[in-house]
Amino acid sequence: MSEDLKPNEPSQETAVSRREFGAVSLAAGLAVVAGAGGAEAAERPLAETEVTVKTPDGNCDAAFIHPATGTFPGVLIWPDAFGLRPAMRQIGRRIASEGYAVLVPNPFYRTAKAPVFDNPSAFDFSNPADTAKLPPLTGPLQAAGAAERDAVAYVAFLEAQKEVDKTKKIGTQGYCMGGALVVRTAAAVADRIGAGASFHGGGLVTDNPNSPHLLAPKIRARMYFGIAANDDMR
The one-digit pLDDT tens for each residue of the chain (234 residues) are 333 333 334 444 455 555 555 545 544 454 444 444 444 555 789 999 999 999 999 999 999 999 999 999 999 999 999 999 999 999 999 999 999 999 999 999 999 999 999 899 899 989 999 999 999 999 999 999 999 999 999 999 999 999 999 999 999 999 999 999 999 999 999 999 999 999 989 999 999 999 999 999 999 999 999 988 777 655
Cα of 24 vs its chain's centroid, Å: 15
Beta bridge mates, 61? 52
CA separation for the pair 148, 141 (Å, rounded): 10
Beta bridge mates, 223? 196
Burial of 184 (0-12, 13-18, 19+ CB in 10 A): buried
Q: Residue-wise over 113-144: b if at least 16 C-beta within 10 A, else e?
A: ebbbbeeeeeeeeeeeeeeeebeebbebbeee
Evaluate whether 180 touches 79 at the Cβ level (below 8 Å).
no
Whether this prediction's pTM lies above 0.75 is answered by yes
Structural domains in the chain, sorted by start: 24-226 (3.40.50.1820)
State the pairing for strand pair 193-199/170-175.
parallel
CA separation for the pair 159, 155 (Å, rounded): 6
Evaluate whether 153 touches 60 at the Cβ level (below 8 Å).
yes
Evaluate whether 228 touches 16 at the Cβ level (below 8 Å).
yes
Query: How would you list the strands of the sheet with 74-78, edge to edge?
Result: 46-55, 58-67, 101-105, 74-78, 170-175, 193-199, 222-226
Total residues belonging to the chain: 234
Using CA atoms of 98, 44, 72, 21 in order, give the dihedral in degrees to the nearest 10: 20
